[in-house]
Amino acid sequence: MNENYEIVKLGKKDMPMYFGFNALRKFCRNTGTTLNQLSNFGTSLSLDDIVELVYCGCAEGHRRAGVEFKMTSDDIADLLDGDSKGLEKAMELFGEHMGKSFGNDKEEKGKKSTPKK
Distance between CA 36 and CA 113 in Å, rounded? Answer: 29
CB crowding 94-106: b at 16 or more within 10 Å, else e: beebbeeeeeeee
Find, among 90, 69, 83, the residue nearest to 6 by Cα.
90
Q: Where are the domains of the chain?
A: 6-103
- Model confidence over 7-30: pLDDT tens digits? 999 999 999 999 998 999 999 999
Please state the rounded mean pLDDT for residues 33-48. Answer: 79
Distance between CA 70 and CA 72 in Å, rounded? Answer: 7
Residues with Cβ within 8 Å of 28's Cβ and at least 6 positions away in sequence, in order, are 34, 35, 38
pLDDT of res. 8: 96
